[in-house]
Amino acid sequence: MPAQLHTENLSLKIGHQQLLENINVSLHPGEVVALIGPNGAGKSTLLRTLTGFQPPTSGQVLLKGKDLTRWSSESLSRLRAVMRQQSTMAFSWCVEDVIAMGRAPWPSDNTNHVVNQVMALTGCDALKGRDFSRLSGGEQQRVQLARALAQLWHDDIPQGWLFLDEPTSALDLYHQQHILRLLKRLAKMGALSVCVVLHDLNLAALWSDRIILLHKGRVVADGTPDHVLDEQTLQRWYQADLRVLRHPDHPVPQVLLEQ
């Protein structure tokens, strides 16, 4: 059975609203996939469904060939981690404890080792000992990413499926680049599949292997950055005035808005 996560004719209807319609996508280890689309397209909803938090009303999500609803929550939490679009903490937790929460599915003997490793990778070292609730928005995002990575850390590498909902929305340029370079490098190690919701199409162009474009709950494009970030395709689905140019240093498209 191929090590992959895929959907078969997945649909979700809540009340009269068709939130997802006939979605067929697959996510493979080694790959960074960007999920893009206008506000309200269904990106966060699809992430909730792909991760087992929102069962579909028809169709299915298969992980390693087995329907997601048939996985125990413990086995599932060792295989997939999620960083949500909004996350709040009701209590005061220090940064290391928030990251260590990601280790809940695993034996506790190497918790400190893994927490230290992911803190170093995500640039959270300087936040050691700080109260999570008092961190800036971007600092909180980096800690949440470290927590999600800690959850998938196994035999000294991240393994499984990592889902991130707009993980760079509060990050400055340095940290956007740092985090996307990191995700790409970790995926290329071969055992991790990254599925990341991004509004910044230029980040998606630079660091994703594949882009899935959602519009009103349907997949309207799925392919390489060059295929999906096409001027007509983007104008049609985003209804924005824009140009698509080549990056001067890399063989990828870059999107510019018209004034």
Q: Determine whether 234 is exposed, middle or buried from the number of CB atoms within 10 Å of its CB (0-12, 13-18, 19+).
A: buried
Nearer to ligand ATP, 44 or 57 (CB): 44
Give residues 14-43 in contact with Mg ion (rule: CB under 5 A): 43
> Does residue 44 touch Mg ion according to CB under 5 A?
yes
- Is 40 near ligand ATP (CB under 6 A)? yes
- Is 40 in contact with 18 (CB distance < 8 Å)? no
| Residue nearer to ligand ATP on the CB measure, 19 or 192 | 19
- Site residue total, Mg ion (CB under 5 A): 3
Place of tokens 């028809």: 58
When the beta carbons of 44 and 60 are compared against ligand ATP, the nearer one is: 44
Stretch that binds ligand ATP, among 35-43, 88-96, 105-113, 247-255 (CB under 6 A): 35-43
Q: Which two tokens stand for residue 23?
A: 């979605």
Phi and psi angles of residue 67, each rounded to the nearest 5 degrees, phi first: -55, 135
Other beta carbons within 10 Å of 253: 23
In sequence order, which ranges of 189-238 are alpha helices (DSSP H)?
201-207, 225-228, 231-238
Single out the residue of 193, 158, 198 nearest to residue 176, CA to CA.
Answer: 198
Position 37 contacts ligand ATP (CB under 6 A): yes
Question: Could you say which of ligand ATP, Mg ion, none residue 88 binds, taking C-beta under 5 to 8 angstroms by partner kind?
Answer: none
What, of ligand ATP, Mg ion, none, does residue 259 touch, CB below 5 to 8 Å by kind? none
Q: Which of 5, 7, 10, 19: binder of ligand ATP (CB under 6 A)?
A: 19
| CA dist., res. 111 & res. 35, Å (int) | 31
> From residue 71 to residue 90, what is the string marking binding to Mg ion with x (rule CB under 5 A)?
--------------x-----
x/- letters, 43..82, toward ligand ATP (CB under 6 A):
xxx-------------------------------------
Strand partners, 23: 10
β partners of residue 242: 257
Beta bridge partners, 58, equal 11
- Residue 13, token pair as written in the block: 């209807």
Q: Which does 225 bind (CB under 5 to 8 A by kind): ligand ATP, Mg ion, none?
A: none
| Contacting residues toward ligand ATP, per CB under 6 A | 14, 17, 19, 37, 39-45, 85
